[in-house]
Structure 1
Amino acid sequence: MSTLDLPAPYPWPEGKTSAFCFTMDVDAHSPWMWNNRHEVPQLLSHLEQRNFGPRVGIQRIADILKNLGVKGSFYVPGAVAEAHPWMLPALVEAGHEVGLHGYFHELVAQVSDEEFSRVLESSLEIFQKQIGEKPKGFRSPAWEMTPHMLAEVKRHGFYDSSLMGLDTPHTVDGVVEVPVNWGTDDAIFFKFLGGGDPAPRSTAEILGMWTEEFEASHRFGSLFMLTVHDWISGRGARPVMLETLLERVLDKGDVWVATVAEIAAHHAAHAMDRNQITSHIPATLLEHPAWIRT
């Protein structure tokens, strides 16, 4: 096989052509807490905008999922679960998956390996206390990972859903990776905090874009990973747009609509020999032979 040959189609179950995951990163107020960890400003606007998510946004979207019979994967920071102890049990009772997403939505570049390991344990304790079981998956805040984080995820037996080296499930350093995609994340199109931020995009425009992305993923037999946020896509016309997109996905018929945990379990059971990746961070350019040759 030459390097220009397409790989064999990914073996989705039951003869399905492609797969679709509905996921929500329930960030709520946690990024605000992290960004203001050294000094808390006495300002309400940004905080209240985020509080909309647990108050209204997540409920609107959960109702749409219920009506369509779709089970989603909800990644919840420990601080959000702590502040809203009803959330994890309610999601599990509704048949959804819940997964880890940091504690304060701490950014990877701003914490040490030791700090990451510590807050991972704290998040795990909150989940086990509230739902009585260990979650199956982890998604990194802001979708960044380090080799240490991958090793910790592997040690706990979690899958990961933070990277995008392929558009089908694979493994990275022995961890099952169910990939994400910036192009199907609501934040880059709708997040608006005032000031100099670009204005939010039209829902009609993004519905068209995501429909095109879905049709392409189906053509190529890949995974469409939709990621939304409680405080962003729970507002205004966006839940209606999500409902329309989900209806189009369901109408296709030969798409496996599954939780991320179901995708990860399928890969672990049936396709672990495919697409095994070893993480590699290149040396600095200044150490490259082409640069230092004499």
Structure 2
Amino acid sequence: MTAPSAPAPGGAYEWPAGKRSAFCFTVDVDAESPFLWSLKDAPPPRLLGQMEQRLFGPRVGIWRILDLLDRYGIKGSFYVPGVVAENHPELLPAFVERGHEVGLHGYFHEFATQASDAEFDGALDAALAVFARQGVTPVGFRSPAWEMTPHMLAEVRRRGLYDSSLMGYDHPYTIDGVVEAPVQWVLDDAVYFKFVGGGADHWPPAAPGPILDGWIDEFETLHRYGAMTMLTVHDWISGRAHRIRMLERLLDRVVADPAVWVATVAEVAAHHAASPNAARFSVPARTPEAIASRRHGGA
């Protein structure tokens, strides 16, 4: 029995005519950048394993993902740290040549929990400079590790970018004047498959079958609700052979329904900004007060 649709409190989200939901295929092209960030306060190790594992992404994995998207006629959104664009100058031109969107993803994949406001601003400007030297003007930003602060939102807004890092709805919304194209952890490959070895992991990578079943269920139910499926994969993780096959099986389902709007995140963000959705789904950024500052009534 099919459950009824459940629109959000603000009403149903309005997609382009003839479309019931949206699907975005996004790639966080992390490659070696998080590993480099982890070394900022430590001497470089003399070990090759993790670096080589991550370099599989720009050497092999990303090209398999690009070919996959070509086969399905899908344009994706690729979020690239500045250092990855600098170390692998063939990447941004290849993404643009194939018609994909390219967005910002920090410089060294800086974590919001570990970087100061000044470090964030410097990383954003450094990444923008790398992109400019390679002839690319991004319109979107995705925070490394998907965390934001009010300061980060303000800087993204000041530069006229959309953001794709938060999870307050499962369709686009506006937060502090910034168009937000939300992500969600259940549709991220790294939480299931990331495995760096060397004794650092507490469990092996998940088998792809149950994850694929969950992704298909999520996509089909979000479509029924008139929401958005924001899939996120990584070059060095989903470029492996059996995960390419997993993505093929998912995309077979996605492209079979003409009521699904398969779009880049930039296209979805532009639609939101130009539509009544922007005002109907608009929220302020809220951070919690310290518990000790709250007043409690006495008995």
Shorter-normalised TM range: over 0.9
2:252 aligned partner: 247
Separation in structure 2 between the aligned mates of residue 106 and residue 43 of structure 1, nearest angstrom: 22
Structure 1 distance, partners of 2:145, 2:226, is 26
The structure in which a higher percent of residues are helix is 1
Moved more, 8-17 or 158-167: 8-17
**RMSD in angstroms over aligned alpha carbons?**
1.3
Q: Which amino acid in 2 is paired with 1:252?
A: D
Residue 88 of structure 1 corresponds to 92
Alpha-carbon separation, structure 1, partners of 2:21 and 2:115: 37
1:218 paired residue number: 223
Give the C-alpha shift of residue 128 in structure 1: 1.1
Distance 1:247 1:145, change over 3 A: same
1:139 aligns with 2:142: yes
Q: What is the distance in 1 between the residues matched to 2:8 and 2:80?
A: 40
Corresponding residue number in structure 1 for 2:29 = 26
1:263-286 residue CA offsets vs partner (Å, 9 max, x unmatched)? 000001112212111011121111
Query: Structure 1 residue aligned with 2:291, among 279, 285, 291?
Result: 285
Amino acid at match of 1:50: R
2:117 to 109, 113, 119: 113
1:289 is paired with a residue whose SS is coil
> Which residue matches 2:78?
74
Alignment of 1:30-41 (within 5 A): 30-38=33-41, 39-41=43-45
CA distance in 1, matches of 2:178, 2:207: 37
Cα pair 2:21 2:227 within 8 Å, conserved: yes
Equivalent position SS for 1:252: coil
How far has the Cα of 1:15 moved from its partner? Answer: 2.3
1:7: Cα distance to partner? 3.6
| Alignment of 1:206 onto 2:244 | no
Closer, same or farther: CA 293–85 of 1 in aligned 2, 3 Å: farther
Task: Name the CA distance, whole Å, in 2 between partners of 1:116 and 1:187.
Answer: 23
> Quick one: distance in 2 between partners of 1:216 and 1:225?
13
- Name structure 1 gaps, 5 residues minimum: none
Match of 1:16 in 2: 19
- Structure 2, unmatched stretches of 5+, are 1-6
Question: Which of the numbers 163, 166, 170 marks the counterpart of 1:167?
Answer: 170
TM superposition outliers: structure 1 runs of 4+ over 3 Å: 4-7
Q: Distance in 1 between matches of 2:286 and 2:156?
A: 17
* TM-score, normalisation: structure 1: 0.96
SS at match of 1:237: helix
DSSP 3-state at the match of 2:24:
strand
Match of 1:237 in 2: 242
Amino acid across the alignment from 1:260:
V
The answer to whether the aligner puts 1:45 opposite 2:32 as a matched pair is no
Q: 1:124 aligned to 2:100?
A: no
- Would you say how many aligned residue pairs link Structure 1 and Structure 2? 289
Distance in 2 of aligned mates of 1:237 and 1:48: 19
Amino acid at match of 1:57: G
Task: Return the offset for 1:6.
Answer: 4.3
User: Do structure 1's residue 262 and structure 2's residue 271 form an aligned pair?
Assistant: no
Q: Which amino acid aligns with 2:216?
A: T
